[in-house]
Amino acid sequence: MSLIQGKYKMFILYALMEFGTVRFNELKRYIATVSYKTLSVTLKELEADGLVHREEYPQIPPKVEYSLTERGKSLIPILDSMCEWGEKNKI
């Protein structure tokens, strides 16, 4: 559970699932309520956990893209099931 613990990890994983490979500012636009710092820290955590791949391109201006790893993609059906369960069991 610690892999998805945190306010924005599921949002980020779903955004990457929905939009594929995206840049940092695109993710920020998709998740408007997250601060730049929180997004950066959370992406680093997801990358360290092997759920997100960060690709850096050596160009000017710098270009960095994020995408789900195979491990990250394998988590999506579990997250879907958890969301479905939550919807069915609202109090």
Query: 30-43, pLDDT tens digit by residue?
Result: 999 999 999 999 99
Residue 77 lies in a domain: yes
Residue 47 lies in a domain: yes
Residue 69 lies in a domain: yes
Could you give the CA distance from residue 60 to residue 80 in angstroms, rounded to a whole number? Answer: 39
By C-alpha distance, which of 41, 50, 48 is closest to 7? 41
Residue 34 lies in a domain: yes
Residue 4 lies in a domain: no
Could you give the CA distance from residue 25 to residue 46 in angstroms, rounded to a whole number? Answer: 17
pTM for this entry: 0.84
Residue 28 lies in a domain: yes
Residue 2 lies in a domain: no
Query: What CATH number has the domain bearing residue 69?
Result: 1.10.10.10
Please tell me the predicted confidence (pLDDT) of residue 2: 65
**Contact yes or no for 66/72 (Cβ under 8 A):** no
Please tell me the predicted confidence (pLDDT) of residue 27: 95
Low-confidence ranges of the chain (pLDDT < 70): 1-4
Give residue 60's domain range.
9-86
Q: Is 3 helix (H, G, I), strand (E, B) or coil?
A: coil
Please tell me the predicted confidence (pLDDT) of residue 55: 95
Q: For the chain, how many helices (H) and strands (E)?
A: 4, 3
Number of domains into which the chain is organized: 1
